Amino acid sequence: MRPEALNSLFVEVEALEGVGPKLRKPLEKLGLTRIRDLAYHLPDRFVERRAITNLDEAGIGENVIVALTVREHRSPSGRGPFRIIAEDVAGNICTVTYFGRASYTGKKQLPVGETRWVAGRIDQYGQMLQIVHPEHVSEDSAAPVGQLCEAVYPLSEGLTQGRAAALVAQAIKGLPDLPEWIEPGLIAKTGWPIWREALVEAHRGVNGPARDRLAYDELFANALALMLVRESNRSQRGTPLAGDGSLRAKLKLPFALTGAQARSIGEIEGDLAQPSPMLRLLQGDVGSGKTVVALTSMLIAVEAGAQAALLAPTEILARQHYETLSRMLQGTGVEIALLTGRDKGKAREAILMGLLGGTIQIVVGTHAIFQDSVAYKNLALVVIDEQHRFGVGQRLMLARKGRRTPHTLAMTATPIPRTLTLAQYGEMEVSKLDELPPGRQAIDTRVVAVERMDDVVGALSRHIESGQQAYWVCPMVNESETDDLAAAEARYAALKERFGDTVALVHGQLRPEVKDAAMERFARGEAKLLVATTVIEVGVDVPNSTLMVIEQAERFGLAQLHQLRGRVGRGSGKSTCLLLRGNQLSETGRQRLALMRETQDGFRLAEEDLQLRGGGELLGTRQSGDTPFRIASLEQITKLLPLAHDDARLLIERDGGLSGPRGDAARLLLYLFERDWGVQLLRSG
Ligand code: ADP
Ligand code: MG
């Protein structure tokens, strides 16, 4: 149960004045559904304005507040704008200009003969100064202050700056006082304000300490929750799994394991034999061979008489995993099943019976495999592919499926930097596949200006004629971004005109059946060219596809480009990756593309990515889920996460955890950042 002290923060935004059904959607789009969310809706930046009396003091492009007296209204002749001629105290003329419907507002706010404070940006218009659509107009008064520094909030369609500011102000006004959860020594050292003040200050102006404190709170909540998970895990009983090797011996692999694979399997085998449940992360670049490590681990469980489950983030991937594993398991006698949300009726019933009765030993699926209606006879190992797509909380739900806590192996193909590993996984044990299987060829990576589109299509055409397949990736910030979706559809249409029915399309807004059908056509080789958004980023494996074109490559982060490129170079043939770049390339954009050409080492690219990030020019920097944080920036993560981590450890190991003197405050924090799975786990464990 959420502590009462937080109740007022978790009230729905509808309770605020001026929030009706019309604002709901724009707010929801920004994730702002409760007072708490609004309070934490921090400004992107601030506009600084200078109050001036004489326009001669203003520079062109400067944001100012100035008192202007209105001389004349000039209605447009034809389709021109509405202009208001005004002057300052010194008689300098300034035009205040309005386009379209805004003219009515202007007319009302700036009546002829009156003096008003006008806030806006000074531009030059011919020989005259002008302010277009002033941001504020207010009655003449002695003090224009209060608007000198104004927050600029992230917006969505239907939410204006003024509205956002007003709502945030309401949310901030009623903030409760909360006890301090940060270690007193750290507060003393940093001089950070208390929580409530930090929130107020962060909306008021650029304030490093306030922003840092808020970021720290978030990082601390996360570190603490993860550490509670680990603690609880240690105290829990699992099933020690010792296989006799009989099934593993029946696996007929067409290759020898790499050293890294053998080492990782050894580490996992060691964990599985323990009575406390495993919590291990398998980190390995695309193509490093995680599948066989997962399969071997699951076979150990089956040898020991238990069941294993493999959880994939999407249906496409679940299906692909299922097919790969089924093929590898031929001749072993192991029963494997696929369960996704699409299975209905009799087929689904049969799988559920098999899981309950234990005749199905390995199940592969999407989150459907841990719905309430799915019961297992003896689930002892859960393998999660692409763990970062799921919250840790979800993983725990899954973990409760067995009577005893199952062992967990999380696999990620994203070689994230070390700091982020800690942020996302806490102190999980890590196995690294830092060695690619032998015989892989380097992917020939080139940067091509978008003007050379015709050449690219020509090369694509020769490629397809030679019997090979290709990917064409279009950027999409998130699946609801209509512009990007339209661009992808348009590209698909254009390529289809050229290449006919051999072109397939997948993107996140297609129905799963349609998406799967397209993928299957491509996997079977019927489709030669797959036009896709980043949904192909993880997992898809078509070795005959040896060319990848990435449009607007500069909009992607390095890590994401690397993930995408990993889709080619999977067979023995030579592979090529063409990075199409637009003609407005920023310096970091240029550096990123250069790095892509230079190296294929995922761990290195991940570190460089972190260095180059920032500025928000990238696809999905905020919403990509590559950090689990909403407040803390990448810089703050790097700077503050180690502190938060140490503090969490101190709290648990020295200060009595949630039952010690700081415990109540820490519990508030966990609920505040919705890391309460940490608390709940502690109770049930
Ligand atoms: P990941 O899931 O880590 O991206 P996969 O498990 O899909 O990688 O493996 C990529 C490809 O490499 C597959 O075709 C797989 O059969 C092959 N492979 C895996 N391990 C080895 C190995 N030790 N030697 C040669 N090929 C391997
Ligand atoms: Mg894989």
User: 413 with 564: CB under 8 angstroms?
Assistant: no
Residue nearest atom 26 in ligand 1 by C-alpha distance? 437
206 in a structural domain: no
Which-ligand-closest: CA of 602?
1
Is the CB of 290 within 6 Å of ligand 1? yes
Instruction: Kindly state the tokens that stand for 473.
Output: 């990736």
Measure the CA angle with vertex 518, ends 516 and 519; round to 5°.
65
Query: Which amino acid is present at 425?
Result: Y
CA distance 632 to 418: 17
617 in a structural domain: no
Instruction: Kindly state the tokens that stand for 82.
Output: 């509405």
346 in a structural domain: yes
pLDDT of residue 41: 96
289 C-alpha to ligand 1 centroid (Å):
4
CATH for 594: 3.40.50.300
644 in a structural domain: no
E strand or H helix at 71 = strand 63-74
pLDDT of residue 388: 56
Which-ligand-closest: CA of 385?
2
pLDDT of residue 605: 86
CA distance 168 to 175: 11
* Residue carrying structure tokens 């348009």: 490
The number of the ligand 1 atom at minimal distance from the alpha carbon of 288 is 3
Do 397 and 358 share a structural domain?
Answer: yes
pLDDT of residue 447: 96
pLDDT of residue 141: 61
Sign of CA dihedral 555, 470, 415, 428: positive
Backbone angles phi, psi at 188, to 5 degrees: -60, -40
Do 527 and 385 share a structural domain?
Answer: no
452 in a structural domain: yes
Sheet strands (E) in 450-557: 469-473, 503-506, 529-532, 545-550
Centre a 10 Å sphere on the Cβ of residue 458 and count the other Cβ atoms it contains: 11
Do 397 and 314 share a structural domain?
Answer: yes
Which-ligand-closest: CA of 543?
1
Q: What domain range includes position 16?
A: 1-40+161-176
Measure the CA angle with vertex 288, ends 285 and 293; round to 5°.
115
Which residues face 393 on adjacent strands? none
Report the chain's terminal Cα–Cα distance, integer Å: 16
611 in a structural domain: no
Is the CB of 257 within 6 Å of ligand 1? yes
Question: Cβ neighbours of residue 659 under 8 Å, at least 6 residues apart?
Answer: none
Residue nearest atom 16 in ligand 1 by C-alpha distance? 289
pLDDT of residue 480: 55
CA distance 278 to 280: 6
CA distance 384 to 409: 6
DSSP class of residue 177? P
Q: Which of 564, 599, 634 is the C-terminal boundary of a domain? A: 599
643 in a structural domain: no
Residue nearest atom 24 in ligand 1 by C-alpha distance? 437
Residue nearest atom 5 in ligand 1 by C-alpha distance? 289
E strand or H helix at 25 = helix 21-29
Do 171 and 113 share a structural domain?
Answer: no
Is the CB of 258 within 6 Å of ligand 1? yes
Helices within 30-101 (DSSP H only):
35-39
Instruction: Kindly state the tokens that stand for 89.
Output: 């105290």
Do 59 and 127 share a structural domain?
Answer: yes
Do 480 and 372 share a structural domain?
Answer: no
Q: Which of 414, 433, 452 is the C-terminal boundary of a domain? A: 433
383 C-alpha to ligand 2 centroid (Å):
12
pLDDT of residue 536: 66
Helices within 386-510 (DSSP H only):
392-399, 418-425, 453-465, 482-499
User: 294 with 362: CB under 8 angstroms?
Assistant: no
Do 588 and 526 share a structural domain?
Answer: yes
Q: Taking the CA atoms of the chain, what radius of gyration do you get in angstroms?
A: 29
Instruction: Kindly state the tokens that stand for 373.
Output: 């209606």
680 in a structural domain: no
Backbone angles phi, psi at 278, to 5 degrees: -70, 145
Helices within 97-207 (DSSP H only):
102-109, 161-173, 184-190, 195-204
Do 170 and 141 share a structural domain?
Answer: no
Do 589 and 481 share a structural domain?
Answer: yes
Backbone angles phi, psi at 477, to 5 degrees: -60, -60
436 C-alpha to ligand 1 centroid (Å):
8
Residue nearest atom 23 in ligand 1 by C-alpha distance? 257
pLDDT of residue 262: 97
Is the CB of 412 within 6 Å of ligand 1? no
Burial class (CB in 10 A: 0-12, 13-18, 19+), 523: buried
Helix (H, G, I), strand (E, B) or coil at 76: coil
Is the CB of 225 within 6 Å of ligand 1? no
328 C-alpha to ligand 1 centroid (Å):
12
Centre a 10 Å sphere on the Cβ of residue 586 and count the other Cβ atoms it contains: 11
264 C-alpha to ligand 1 centroid (Å):
14
Q: Tell how far CA 550 is from the center of its chain.
A: 20
Domain count, the chain: 4
Do 454 and 581 share a structural domain?
Answer: yes
pLDDT of residue 187: 95
The number of the ligand 1 atom at minimal distance from the alpha carbon of 291 is 6
* Cα dist from 214 to 2, 41, 404, 632, 637, whole Å: 20, 11, 38, 8, 12
Do 411 and 482 share a structural domain?
Answer: no
Q: Which of 549, 564, 599 is the C-terminal boundary of a domain? A: 599
Measure the CA angle with vertex 215, ends 214 and 216; round to 5°.
90
Residue (of 575, 31, 679, 319) closest to 327 by Cα position:
319
Question: Cβ neighbours of residue 126 under 8 Å, at least 6 residues apart?
Answer: none
pLDDT of residue 620: 41
Residue (of 547, 531, 452, 537) closest to 490 by Cα position:
531
Q: Tell how far CA 661 is from the center of its chain.
A: 35
CA distance 386 to 314: 10
Residue nearest atom 9 in ligand 1 by C-alpha distance? 289
Is the CB of 569 within 6 Å of ligand 1? no
Is the CB of 305 within 6 Å of ligand 1? no
Do 93 and 74 share a structural domain?
Answer: yes
Instruction: Kindly state the tokens that stand for 472.
Output: 């064409």
DSSP class of residue 194? P
312 C-alpha to ligand 2 centroid (Å):
10
Backbone angles phi, psi at 364, to 5 degrees: -115, 135
437 C-alpha to ligand 1 centroid (Å):
7
Measure the CA angle with vertex 457, ends 455 and 460; round to 5°.
110
pLDDT digits (tens, 9 = 90+) for 607-620: 788 777 654 444 44
Is the CB of 233 within 6 Å of ligand 1? no
Q: Tell how far CA 569 is from the center of its chain.
A: 26
Query: Which amino acid is present at 231?
Result: E
Mean pLDDT in runs of 10 for the chain (685 residues)?
A: 92 90 90 95 90 89 92 87 94 92 88 92 90 84 63 86 92 94 95 97 93 96 87 82 95 93 97 91 87 98 97 87 96 96 89 97 92 90 75 56 78 75 76 85 92 96 96 76 80 94 89 87 94 70 92 87 86 90 87 92 81 54 58 86 92 88 92 80 50
Residue nearest atom 20 in ligand 1 by C-alpha distance? 289
Is the CB of 571 within 6 Å of ligand 1? no
